[in-house]
Amino acid sequence: MNTNGLVGVYGLGRFGLFWSGMLAKRFPVIAASRTRKESLPATVTYGSFDDLFEADTIFLCVAISVLPNVLDRMAPHLSKRHTVIDTCSVKLYPVEQMLKRLPESCSLVATHPMFGPDSARERADLLPIITWPVRCSDETYSAWVDHFRSMRLRIIQKSPDDHDREAAYTQGVTHYVGRLLAQLELRPSEMATLGYQRLLQVMEQTCNDPVQLFQDLQRYNPYTREMRRRLAEARRTTEAMLPDENGSA
Amino acid sequence: MNTNGLVGVYGLGRFGLFWSGMLAKRFPVIAASRTRKESLPATVTYGSFDDLFEADTIFLCVAISVLPNVLDRMAPHLSKRHTVIDTCSVKLYPVEQMLKRLPESCSLVATHPMFGPDSARERADLLPIITWPVRCSDETYSAWVDHFRSMRLRIIQKSPDDHDREAAYTQGVTHYVGRLLAQLELRPSEMATLGYQRLLQVMEQTCNDPVQLFQDLQRYNPYTREMRRRLAEARRTTEAMLPDENGSA
């Protein structure tokens, strides 16, 4: 069965809604989620879980932590004509889970769109997306790389291991610092320096994402633990740069 | 003796050089420093320490920690016609030191220009400067507020205590986070999110300032210690948001 380029999206959280809207500019999109959404992008059709498999390609936009359960529910519906593409913010773990839980017959592509609704609005350059052909024909992979290019995304091909290693010190650090600053209840200030304004932006943007994303980034990327250990060490080193507090000049 | 608006600047570090250049667009400027500088803004005259006192107004652009020593050396040269204006990044401590060490006859104004050469280049809006009339006539204070306005600065009048309280959570946090990130040796990345790019900018900008400034901001602002205590607590709270590390889904 050929479905004329129908694309499925499972998971309609903040990112899933945004991504289905982006896809719908180029493809007929059918979306499904655990709980029905009140409002969808106008061009996206809402369907049942079973309806999803009418699409040849199904994007997964669910929280990393629920992925195994979702994959197990999908597995019986998948066949040779299907391509499953995850969009998780870590890569080793979802790739391992897809390989383990989905039938060998279907194709697998891993992606990490490095943006969300906030940064997509603000960012002037092409939005970056990490891609990796996990298990698929060159044709299938190239076709999606071309689709992403035509969606004005910048393709960065990177292995899941390279991705996670680098993401621990880019995305992992950013979300960690954002959450840290939120605890301090930082507020806009008329005496804000440019640097302070940037910290506020980081805080607001990362805290706009669900706390689940923060937790999953730290938990399912095997390199973030080491990043956090180094950050704790950095705090001690930074404290040690300060002369005796009680001295006076 | 009236010196036709001659303005003195003592201290030609990164900020002093920049500030003397800004002043020189409107005033004849004489600058002095502990060690002679190779290159000065073209319109700034280099002079000896003693030459400085030909100017009616003398800006102090020295590290906070050396201020007491500089003030003691200045004191014998100052008289009724002089106005001393500090530009330190904390305010309670320098104001206390100026009041204590300079003759009662001279006028005192406290300022904190909330920018440096980097942010002045990048920032599109008016650059903010905090001002406070420590001990001076309304005329002297108003004249300098007007001068700052004509230099396209945005005046924020704030008491030294209010300044330090707020600066601990704006500038203090920014420099602390910048130094913390520098320990992690963060680098530009092709997969940088917008948030990560902003953290890199904060890191680069704060670490472009001398480490002495970082230390002085933390040491001489009485409110930064509490900010750092809260940051340490924020790290513990953030860690506690993370589920058991060794669990798997």
Write the pLDDT tens digit of every residue in A25-61: 999 999 999 987 778 888 899 999 999 999 999 999 9
Q: Measured between alpha carbons, how far is B99 from B101 in angstroms, rounded to an integer?
A: 6
The end-to-end CA distance of chain A, in Å, is: 81
Point out the residue among B169, B198, B211 whose CB comes nearest to the CB of A186: B169
Given this model, what pLDDT does residue A27 score?
95
Q: Can you name the residues that pair with B110 across neighbouring β-strands?
A: B86, B132
Binding-face residues of A in 184-243 toward B, CB within 8 A:
184, 186, 189-196, 198-199, 201-202, 205-206, 211, 214-215, 218-220, 225, 227-228, 230-235, 237-239, 241-243
Residues A8 and A59 sit within 8 Å (Cβ to Cβ): yes
Amino acid in position B202: V
Residue holding tokens 């970056």? A128
Q: What is the pLDDT of residue B123?
A: 81
* pLDDT at position A4 over 70: no
SS3 state of residue A109: strand
DSSP conformation letters of A10-26: E--SHHHHHHHHHHHTT
Please spell the DSSP secondary structure of A157-176, one letter per residue: E--HHHHHHHHHHTHHHHHH
**B153-157 and A7-10 strand pairing:** unpaired
* pLDDT lower than 70: segments of chain B: 1-4, 244-249
A125: closest CA of chain B, how far (Å): 10
The predicted structure's pLDDT at residue B117: 87
pLDDT at B247: 43
Two tokens at B70?
């500089």
Cβ atoms of A52 and A32 within 8 Å: the answer is: yes
Q: What pLDDT score does A245 carry?
A: 56
Assembly ipTM: 0.85
Phi, psi of B94 (to 5 degrees): -65, -35
Nearest to A63 by CA among A29, A33, A38: A33
pLDDT value of position A248: 41
Res A46: pLDDT: 94
pLDDT digits (tens, 9 = 90+) for A55-78: 999 999 999 999 999 999 999 999
B153: distance to nearest CA of chain A, Å?
12
Question: Which is higher by pLDDT, A124 or B151?
Answer: B151
**What count of Cα atoms within 13 Å lies in the side-chain half-sphere of residue A182?**
20
Residue B4 is predicted with a pLDDT of 59
Question: Cβ contacts (< 8 Å) between B123 and chain A: which residues?
Answer: 194
With tokens 């102090």, the residue in question is B60
Using one digit for the tens of pLDDT, what is the confidence trace for A80-121? 999 999 999 999 999 999 999 999 999 999 999 998 888 888
Dist. CA A173–CA B177, nearest whole Å: 11
**What is the DSSP code string of A37-61?**
-S---TTEEE--TGGGGGSSEEEE-
Tell me the mean pLDDT in the region A16-24. 95
Instruction: Mark yes or no for CB contact A194/B205 under 8 Å.
Output: yes
Q: What percent of chain A has pLDDT over 90?
A: 82
- Report the distance separating Cα A217 and Cα A214, nearest Å: 5
How many angstroms separate the CA atoms of B142 and B133, rounded?
9
Q: Please give the pLDDT value at position A92.
A: 98
**What Å distances lie between residue A29 and A19, A57, A112, A244, CA to CA?**
10, 10, 19, 62
Alpha-carbon distances of B146 from A55, B43, B136, B138, rounded to whole Å:
68, 22, 15, 12
The whole-angstrom separation of Cα A50 and Cα A74 is 9
- Locate all alpha helices (DSSP H) within chain A, ordered by sequence: 14-24, 67-74, 92-101, 117-122, 138-150, 160-169, 171-183, 194-208, 211-220, 224-240
Supply the DSSP string of B35-63, one letter for each residue: S--S---TTEEE--TGGGGGSSEEEE-S-
Q: Do B174 and A190 touch (CB under 8 A)?
A: no
What span, in angstroms and rounded, lies between the C-alpha atoms of A43 and A223? 39
For residue A246, pLDDT beyond 70: no
* Cβ distance of B171 and A193 shorter than 8 Å: yes
Do the Cβ atoms of A119 and B169 come within 8 Å? no
Alpha-carbon distance values, B156 to A73, A90, B66, B147 (Å): 60, 45, 26, 14
How many CB atoms within 10 Å of residue B187? 10
Rounded to an integer, what distance in angstroms lies between the CA atom of residue B167 and that of residue B217? 9
Q: The tokens of B104 are what?
A: 């009662």
Instruction: Please indicate whether, in this complex, the C-beta atoms of B241 and A206 are within 8 angstroms of each other.
Output: no
Is 90 exceeded by the pLDDT of residue A230? yes
Interface of A with B in 22-51 (CB under 8 A): none
- pLDDT at site A244: 64
pLDDT given at position A49: 96
